[in-house]
Amino acid sequence: MKKSGKRLLLWTPGIETHGGRPSANLGDLIIEEAVEAELRTLFPQWEMQKVSTHLRFGPAHRRQAREADLIVVGGSNLLSSYMDGYFQWDLTMVNAVAARGSVLMGAGWWRDQGVANRYTKILLNLVLSRKFKHSVRDGQAAARLREIHIPKVLNTACPTMWKLAEMDLSRLRTKPAEKVLCMLTDYYPEPELDRRLLDLLKERYKTVYFWPQGLGDEIYSRELSFDGVLLDRNLEALDELLATETELDYVGTRLHGGVRCLKAGKRCLTLEVDNRAREIGKDTGLPTAARSDLEAVRKWTEGSDPVQLRLPRESIQEWKGQFARFSEHE
């Protein structure tokens, strides 16, 4: 296919360096995979370049941003009410000016925070497009952006979930499987609670697998004396398990790992460690439970209601559709 000569710059958490080294958090790779697949469909003839949200721009990257035909900020909980003190998205005023017109795609808010401070209001109004509508992954993020006078915001849920709209989720099992996959979050440790969760899963299931999504998850599992089956820390190991184990449930605190399991047709329960799973669950009906509510987890392991997601299909299509005129002359 002949390239159009246009360039899309993807500002992504999926790489740790502007040179392309993959993120140590495999959840970032799951997000990037979904974002890139959607953008390739929308802009099949465009050249796609990537820069990391984890690092600041240098002069060459600012020039790259200024020369791009479109800049998309691809997912993750990179927005905050205090962008001068939180660097999940390492954004400066200078780089915000260079990347003016950037469009959010499935961005979320960092934890439960109040109204954004003045610095954040100026910074985000500088960098974010006034022409295009922005995609955020929950109502909380949408409300925070509107408070700082960024009105063109659509709650689309996370791009990792968009393909779920094409699935018949009513066919998912409601009875417990024989085996279970667990994921935990090393940077939100609750050792006593997490040991009780692992004991519960060991009691309820024939086999307990553990997949370390984050860099420190394997170490944390060993600190908890996990004695089940530990998977390798890569997406291939997870996907192989999902493809080969038909009798498999998912219970854990990792949101994007859980969504990947759901897309593979597994019965899933995501435990809320912060606002992310809670807000997405509230908006979409994604099965979640409070991390501390082990009784709810126990009941779920005995059987669950059919999954009935409320995905915002119209908002997703509205966000995608706004680029039709933008790319029709490529």
Tokens at 273, concatenated: 């460690």
Give the up-direction half-sphere exposure of residue 326: CA atoms within 13 A in the CB hemisphere.
18
Give all domains of the chain, ordered by start, each with its CATH number: 7-156+313-327 (3.40.50), 164-302 (3.40.50.2000)
Cα angle value 163/181/37 (rounded, 5°): 25
Which is it for the CA torsion 48, 50, 53, 59, positive or negative? Answer: negative
Cα angle value 261/264/269 (rounded, 5°): 30
Between the alpha carbon of residue 328 and those of residues 33, 317, 320, the distances in Å are 25, 17, 13
Confidence at residue 139, expressed as pLDDT on a 0 to 100 scale: 93
Q: Within 10 Å of residue 112's Cβ, how many Cβ atoms?
A: 11
Which residue is listed with tokens 């999940």? 88
Confidence at residue 75, expressed as pLDDT on a 0 to 100 scale: 83
Which residue is listed with tokens 């950037």? 102
170 near 141, Cβ under 8 Å? Answer: no
* SS3 at position 198: helix
Confidence at residue 230, expressed as pLDDT on a 0 to 100 scale: 98
Confidence at residue 3, expressed as pLDDT on a 0 to 100 scale: 63
Q: Which amino acid belongs to residue 46?
A: W
Sheet holding 229-230, edge to edge: 229-230, 207-210, 179-183, 248-252, 267-272, 288-290
Confidence at residue 88, expressed as pLDDT on a 0 to 100 scale: 86
Over its length of 330 residues, how does the chain's per-residue pLDDT go in tens digits? Answer: 456 689 999 999 999 999 899 999 999 999 999 999 999 999 999 999 999 999 999 999 999 999 999 999 998 889 999 999 888 899 999 999 999 999 999 999 988 888 899 999 999 999 999 999 999 999 999 999 999 999 899 999 999 999 999 998 988 999 999 999 999 999 999 999 999 999 999 999 999 999 999 999 999 999 999 999 999 999 999 999 999 999 999 999 999 999 999 999 999 999 999 888 999 999 999 999 999 999 999 999 999 999 999 999 999 999 999 998 765 555
In whole angstroms, give the CA distance from residue 79 to residue 89.
7
Give the up-direction half-sphere exposure of residue 84: CA atoms within 13 A in the CB hemisphere.
9
Which is it for the CA torsion 284, 285, 286, 290, positive or negative? Answer: positive
Best CA proximity match to 248, nearest among 290, 197, 295, 206: 206
Confidence at residue 1, expressed as pLDDT on a 0 to 100 scale: 46
Confidence at residue 151, expressed as pLDDT on a 0 to 100 scale: 87
Q: Is 171 exposed, middle or buried (0-12, 13-18, 19+ CB in 10 A)?
A: exposed
